[in-house]
Amino acid sequence: MYQHEKNRKRAQELVAQMTLDEKISQLTYNSAGIPRLGIPAYNWWNEALHGVARAGTATSFPQAIGLAAIFDDEFLSHVAKVIADEGRAKYNEASKHGDRDIYKGLTFWSPNINIFRDPRWGRGHETYGEDPYLSARLGVAFIKGLQGDGDVMHAAACAKHFAVHSGPEDLRHEFDAISTPKDLWETYLPAFEACVKEGQVESVMGAYNRVNGEPACGSYFLLRDILRERWEFKGHVVSDCWAIKDFHMYHKVTKSPKESAALAMDAGCDLNCGNIYLYMLQAYEAGLVTEDQITEAAVRLFTTRYKLGLFDDTEFDQIPYEVIESKEHTELAVEAARKSIVLLKNEGILPLDKSALKTIGVIGPNANSRLALKANYYGTSSRYITLLEGIQDEVGDHARVLYSKGCELWKDRTEPLAVANDRLSEAITVAEHSDVVALCLGLDERLEGEEMDEGNHVGSGDKVDLELPKVQQELLEKVVETGKPVILCLIAGSAINLSYADTHCQGILQAWYPGARGGKALADILFGHTSPSGKLPITFYRTLEGLPEFTDYSMENRTYRYYTEEPLYSFGYGLTYGDIRCQEAYIEEVKENKFMKVSVKAENIGQIGTEDVIQCYIKDQESKYAVKNVSLSGYQRIRLEAGETRRVSIEIPWTALMAVDELGERRIDSQTFTLYVGTFLPDERSQTLMEQQPLSIQINL
């Protein structure tokens, strides 16, 4: 695949013709052209978390956390292939016009497979959630879809941020993330290992922070011992942007830019997103790096360019520009949004019957917000459909739609000269005049995002707590007090305390950041054209009490695998309009040291056809090294019509039976396990909400 050795040889032959200065010129993200060798300039920096980003028009998919909520490897791989097609189409045209600018290349710095360990982290919505197994499977699926499996790489993926990286954002340039070997190998590294070994990811990006004392982009332990030697990674390593300057400016592990450049190079960082590698010649002249090291980094980078066919004619050169936002692609994006939406509560109010409604109230700061659709790292859409517009399009003349913004996202007034809460009375009026209210609250990239990202409300994009902004909580309570049935539609990328809504609202939908046409997907769910089927890839806590400090990277009492309190909504939870139940399960095949296959008989005993996700969780019953609760070990999305029964097979990897000891060693340390099978996590809270228990299978080795 991608003919690695052949392309590496070509890269070696090309780099051998370069001067030292020319080699160094290739080691920054905006690599210079070398006309005498026929090498055009190339900018390595591009983004594609949920669509080609920052380079003009592209299909806009739900943010990564929403794609994770679909729990479907094959579907995500399809999404990634569409992104690669659009990336190629844009690259073909940009190159034709001599445009070699940033965000125009084929090296996409996606996916983000960091573990969403703490609900305060502002960038958590860029990830696939809190579970290492789910993150691994989805990361591999995205990479394979983006890169393809032919002789020429479709586009290059990048697993980031390596490693032990999940906030706080405002400390990331100076922070030392301390992790025990057990937490490292049990939680923080498995997704990266899978993406390297199974996904054959072309690139790995280092993180800003230090890890156990070493800056991640200059870590011998991470980049040399683990990535290159233990995992035999063949691709290239890129620094996070301007992370190498942190070595001397904030981490204080070096004294100068040339020392920082040398440390990163010596550890194995090939490409600098930033400008510290402009000091590489000084580092060489000071004897801090060798020309062989510089040569090897350049060879790795040109191997990637050869794998992408950038110096050859390829099948991808014929991908037409017209694939951008094609009907097929935009329909796939809407389908992704539908599948990602999680139904958290339904007191019989959903789906809505528009023929029985005269007036629908649509209220809230995210009800007509385009920014709330997009998340961060987004491309431009030629059309946006907000929740308000989706409902208006759906009901047409069947019902009157009344709208009020109700409040701003966090500011206490809309008009600067008005008193606080200047839209509140209007919202109450709309609710009073409506048969049902769709209340659209939540966040956007200004309240949760990357540190110093241009959209952030504050310097750090982290949350200070789990609560809705005060003005939104007040709006929620005032609308509920009208006595009208309320469906909360939450647009946000992280866990929010919805305790009040859970008690007082008749329905709750978690829509994440659903993409440019997300309002249509929400309307399709609200009015029953599609049954919701998303599952939470994170835990929704009631409070921060009991969780470790944000700066504490211990996994104790974090995520569903270790949490000791009762959550509001558990990982893996999500209702549908149907009722798919697992009626029977047994182990049908065992290949020792490889996998087990569990056969599951599922039936939709409900009245509405729906998709759902069958989930398998392992509980190690003996080992003192086992995770405290259970661990996801397999899943399968399934669609059943009303009354339909089907049997499916789900593969459980042998590693699911292994425990990680205090030294980070993974082994089978028990003879007795319980495998739980259902459409939810086998905890008490989920069983109460689902009004059923999972199946269980005893496994004795």
Q: What is the pLDDT of residue 452?
A: 65
> Residue 635 corresponds to which tokens in the numbers above?
């899943």
Return the ∠ at Cα 688 (arms to 683 and 693), rounded to 5°.
Answer: 65
What is the three-class DSSP state of 619?
A: strand
pLDDT band at 367 (very low <50, low <70, confident <90, very high): very high
CA atoms within 13 A on the CB side of 521: 34
**Residue in 72, 85, 183, 240 annotated catalytic:** 240
Given phi > 0 = left and psi -120 to 50 = alpha, else beta, which region is 580? Answer: beta
Q: What is the pLDDT of residue 3?
A: 84
Q: Give the pLDDT confidence of 589-611 residue by residue, as tens digits.
A: 999 899 999 999 999 999 999 99
Q: In terms of DSSP bridges, do strands 30-31 and 158-162 run parallel, antiparallel, or are they unpaired?
A: unpaired
Return the ∠ at Cα 58 (arms to 55 and 59), rounded to 5°.
Answer: 150
Q: Where are the beta strands (DSSP E) in 129-272?
A: 158-162, 176-177, 203-206, 210-211, 214-215, 236-238
Helix, strand and coil content of the chain, in percent to the nearest 5, comes to: 35, 20, 45
Q: What is the pLDDT of residue 1?
A: 62
Q: Give the pLDDT confidence of 281-294 residue by residue, as tens digits.
A: 999 999 999 999 99
Q: How far is CA 477 from the centre of its chain?
A: 31
| Main-chain phi, psi angles of 588, to 5 degrees | -100, -20
CA dist 156 and 136 (Å) reads 18
Residues 6+ apart with CB under 8 A from 416: none
Do residues 597 and 579 lie in contact, with contact meaning Cβ atoms separated by under 8 Å? no
Q: Give the pLDDT confidence of 416-455 residue by residue, as tens digits.
A: 999 999 999 999 999 999 999 999 999 999 999 998 655 4
What is the three-class DSSP state of 108?
A: strand
State the amino acid at position 285 in one-letter form: E
Q: Give the pLDDT confidence of 154-208 residue by residue, as tens digits.
A: 999 999 999 999 999 999 999 999 999 999 999 999 999 999 999 999 999 999 9
What is the three-class DSSP state of 442?
A: strand
Question: Alpha carbon of 653 to those of 282, 531, 591: distances in Å?
Answer: 49, 31, 10
Taking the domains of the chain in order of start, what are their residue ranges? 4-48+59-307, 341-536, 580-700
Q: What is the pLDDT of residue 112?
A: 98
Q: Give the pLDDT confidence of 645-695 residue by residue, as tens digits.
A: 999 999 999 999 999 999 999 999 999 999 999 999 999 999 999 999 999
Say which CATH class 4-48+59-307 falls into.
Answer: alpha beta
Please say whether the structural domain 341-536 has been given the CATH code 3.40.50.1700.
yes
Catalytic site includes residue 661: no
Q: What is the pLDDT of residue 459?
A: 52
CA dist 57 and 71 (Å) reads 27
Instruction: Name the β-bridge partners of 38.
Output: none
| Residue 347: other Cβ atoms inside 10 A | 11
Give yes or no for residue 639 having a pLDDT over 60. Answer: yes
Residues 6+ apart with CB under 8 A from 425: none
Residue 13, judged by CB atoms within 10 A of its CB (0-12, 13-18, 19+), counts as exposed
Q: What is the pLDDT of residue 57?
A: 98
- Domain 580-700, what architecture? Sandwich (2.60)
Taking the model in full, what pTM does it have?
A: 0.98
CA dist 147 and 308 (Å) reads 9
Give yes or no for residue 344 having a pLDDT over 70. Answer: yes
| Main-chain phi, psi angles of 305, to 5 degrees | -65, -35
What number is the average pLDDT over the span 551-569?
Answer: 98
Please spell the DSSP secondary structure of 291-317, one letter per residue.
HHHHHHHHHHHHHHHHHTTTTS--GGG
Residue 408, judged by CB atoms within 10 A of its CB (0-12, 13-18, 19+), counts as middle
Q: Give the pLDDT confidence of 451-468 residue by residue, as tens digits.
A: 865 544 455 689 999 999
Place of tokens 């729906």: 610
Do residues 141 and 77 lie in contact, with contact meaning Cβ atoms separated by under 8 Å? yes
% of the chain beyond a pLDDT of 90: 98
Helix (H) or strand (E) holding 267: helix 257-267
